[in-house]
A and B are shown apart, each in its own frame.
Chain A
Amino acid sequence: MNTNTGTLREYRKSIQEALDDEYLRKTLDTFAVDYHASRIAAFKTMDEKEVIREIAEAKDSAISRMDELYTQFKEKAEANGVMVHRADTAEEANAIICAIAAENACKKIIKSKSMTAEETLLNPALLEKGIEVVETDLGEWIIQLRHESPTHMVLPAIHLSRNQVADVFSQTTGKKEEADISTLVKVARRELREKFATADMGISGANFAIADTGTIGICTNEGNGRLVTTLPRVQVAITGLDKLVPTLHDALRIIRVLSRNATGQNITSYVSWITGATECRLDPDERKIMHIVFVDNGRTQLAADPACKDALHCVRCGACANVCPVYRLVGGHKMGYIYIGAIGLILTYFFHGADKAKNLILNCINCGACKEVCAAGIDLPAIIQEIRCRLNESQGSPLPAKLLGMVLKDRKRFHTLLKFAKWVQKPVTAGTPFVRHLPSIFDVGQNSRALPAIVDDAFRDRWPYLCHEYTEGSRLVGLFAGCALDFLYPEQLEAALTLMHRKDCRIVFPFEQSCCGLPVQMMGQRTAAVATAKANIDAFENTGCEYVVTLCASCGSHIKHTYPLLLADDPEYSAKAESFVGRIKDFSSFAVDVLDYGEKDFAVGDDKIRDGVCYHCACHLCRGLGVTQQPRALMRAAGDYQQTAEEDTCCGFGGTYSVEFPEISSQILIKKLDRLEASGARYLVTDCPGCVMQLRGGEEKRGRKLVVQHMAEFLVARLNTKQAKE
């Protein structure tokens, strides 16, 4: 049933089907907006970043000693009458549970929610043994009746409407059930109560396994977990080794964040802490028969994998899906195999294998929204990129990635090629700055945006003629251009030159600088990414500049976060990378923090342009570089800035992503522009040439309601020229 694991073509086709599902789109859209607001409210009185940092630290230490914690847990739990098992694989876990059922003559099983049981495909294994298994979490029950997999880790049936639920309930009860939510909830209460009462085994998951006391902790809202662990005479809990924590305190800390981050709720209605086998009056000894099964299934190996081990910090809050612009469009069936969202892409690779993950892993736009909200502080995009590299290294790269990787390793060849491309595009630009018609093979799903043309003379060609104007000034600044600005938008760089020069900067532009390497990193080309990083570090090495300014948020964020990782083990370059990264500054922050741009510098009175300006906050600026205040201060100083909803939601560009998944990219763009145009503003400003390309291209197709500008262009047009003359 899962179409994510076939060929890439099949995967993309099934994505199109999801995109065409109006109900899904609308539901996930409202969800994304509501979630954002309720998360903010939920953390109003807490420094969540600090708690998340503590969680990450504690989890990191726990996964580094899973074996030890397991032994400790087992000892404690067994002393309290529990049988503890460890399964190396999913199959082994299922076999253990089937054997427990057989040994205790269990024929009817009720289950509360467990992602680990989904992971091991426990239900089919039990059914095969002729055992009835009923899910009791409402959402899980609905999808079980529909023979589907969950589409969200916390809200498994979020893709379904009340009508669809009523239909499947009607089939189950044999009478017409009304499509009214509270009635449907009552149907579940009624139908499942009988199952609770007659089951002989209850299977639950566990959010925590506390080694110190041998206690498991289970969070539920519906209370089904409590009935599952109380009514039947046999109790089984299945959980991953990664759920082991040393102490109760560790679990309480996670609870502080878990449901706030999942749904904006303070805490789930119920948290059950089960220590040992407790009373069960059905048993002759009046004690439960209780088993706990820990599943390894790749966890031990992952824990020993420095680049990816943080994935085991995950507490399954589901937030990485809630904020993902791709999830918002295509839903969980296309964003996971069993685990869903950003963490789903990752865990599919580690728990279910490269083959199941190969398409999914490409479907990340690298906007960083997940990393920003992750309850366990996981750098999800970095792990996704790491997996892309590994897949390419083990299975070979797709041709375009390989070619780009080869070309980028040699700057001269790359730049020659870009210039060559300029001639090739001529017939299709019709003399405009946009590529009008692409040869049809490139034209998939690109309809919602026009592509910019490569300019006749790139910035690096203009520089020899410009450089003499910028040799005076007390502050020496290096300019890192990046490909998009160099070859598509040199005028934006020139605008920045004017602005910097006006504040007493002299500028160097080292010729040997190249692409920052992000595109090849995104395509999993590790050696090319390393080569470009080194080339750029070398290019600025002996310039003596205090700052290296970039107008491209994506370059800036890639350099800042990825260069140190790529070069960490390189004895020669690791220190150089650190020094380079320390000097990198995005243009807006540089303009405010260093150059002190403010109201005094811009036109006032009659000269001030009064048309409204709205803002798109580039992912790699607000989340990548953590810059949020300075651009807004600049827009307020130079114009009439109007705040709009979801300013920091991705525009859908994602570099190579928009080529890989054009259908998704263009849908994200359309939503973005709808929101921005509704503001009534005339100007749209952003800090990244990739976003300019995406947004301007979109506006070109939609009739240019908004003038899209890079911050530098926007500012330069509004300078107080009178003051300059003085």
Chain B
Amino acid sequence: MNNTEHVVDIFTQNARAASSTVVTAGSLREAVDYAVRLCADNAGIPPSVPGGEEGRDILAAPDMPADLWPHLVEAGKAKGVRVIDKNVREHPNGVCVGFSVGDMGIANTGTVILRCYKEDTRLASMLAETHVIALPASTIVATSYDAEDFLQQAMAGPMYTAFISGCSRTSDIERVLTLGVHGPLSLHIILIQEGQA
């Protein structure tokens, strides 16, 4: 196992320990298909917040690269999934899936770093019942210290940078771990390993 495979491995272990679902894909396009499928599959599940029914078929992807957007819309149409890229705020009771592209991964905590200056980027990751992050495996570093240069640059001007390590959770009642308090009920991380099917 080379060093990169090693950190990817540790990342996967720690992300799973933080109750994230970790899968791999060969390209961002495949990750998009995964998210659309997830949204179609979950559309029938009742929302966790009353009034959330209207968002059950919505996939929010405010930061989809322009070249993939037509594919996303197409794939969504085929599965009965509505795709939005803005005004996530109009769905305060939740959308089914939020899709983000992560900037970096930190192996020893299973963390994804996500820059989210835009309000919609943030809300897609918070108001979604399921949050899906596509993360290029090549961006994974061993510890947060290794991400310092990147973070430092992100903080050079106005920016909202998030470390995401699992989904929303609480142990506030009798110390019993419960997933999904205010944010997503689950987090899926799709590791993009370019060149692998």
Contact = CB atoms under 8 A, between A and B. Distances in A.
A, B in one complex: yes
Interface residues of A, number: 67
Contact-residue size bin, chain B (C-beta under 8 Å from the other chain)? 35 or more
Interface of A: 27, 31, 34, 80-81, 136-139, 142, 155-158, 160-162, 165, 181-182, 184-186, 188-190, 192-194, 196-197, 210, 213, 215, 221-224, 226-227, 229-231, 248-249, 252, 255-256, 263, 266-282, 287
A43 B191 CA distance: 27
Nearest to B127: A227
A332 B2 CA distance: 50
A255 B14 CA distance: 16
Given A155-B171, A157-B172, A248 B180 contact: no
B1 interface: no
Interface in B140-197: 144-145, 148, 151-152, 154-176, 178, 180-184
23 contacts: A27-B175, A139-B170, A155-B172, A165-B173, A181-B173, A181-B174, A185-B170, A185-B178, A190-B50, A223-B181, A226-B183, A227-B182, A231-B123, A249-B148, A255-B144, A267-B163, A270-B183, A271-B163, A273-B155, A273-B161, A276-B157, A278-B119, A281-B120
Given A231-B89, A273-B160, 18 more contacts: A34-B175, A80-B157, A81-B158, A165-B173, A181-B178, A185-B170, A193-B94, A196-B182, A213-B152, A221-B168, A222-B168, A222-B170, A226-B183, A249-B148, A252-B145, A266-B165, A269-B183, A278-B159
A270 B161 CA distance: 10
A406 to B, nearest CB: 48
Interface string B91-135: 011100000000000001111000001111011011000000000
A276 B157 CA distance: 7
B181 A224 contact: yes
B22 interface: no
A27 B173 CA distance: 11
B175 A31 contact: yes
A230 B18 contact: no
A127 to B, nearest CB: 23
A272 B123 CA distance: 13
Contacts of B183: 222-224, 226-227, 269-270
Interface of B: 14, 17-18, 48-50, 87, 89, 92-94, 108-111, 117-120, 122-123, 125-126, 144-145, 148, 151-152, 154-176, 178, 180-184
- Residue with the highest number of chain A CB atoms closer than 10 Å, among B89, B120, B148, B173: B173
B163 to A, nearest CB: 4
A185 B157 contact: no
A188 B181 CA distance: 7
A215 B160 CA distance: 9
Nearest to A283: B119
Nearest to B151: A248
Contacts of A271: 162-163
A278 B117 contact: yes
B152 to A, nearest CB: 6
- Residue with the highest number of chain B CB atoms closer than 10 Å, among A138, A223, A249: A223
B173 A221 contact: no
Contacts of A282: 89
A223 B163 CA distance: 11
Given A80-B157, A185-B181, A226-B183, A142 B167 contact: no
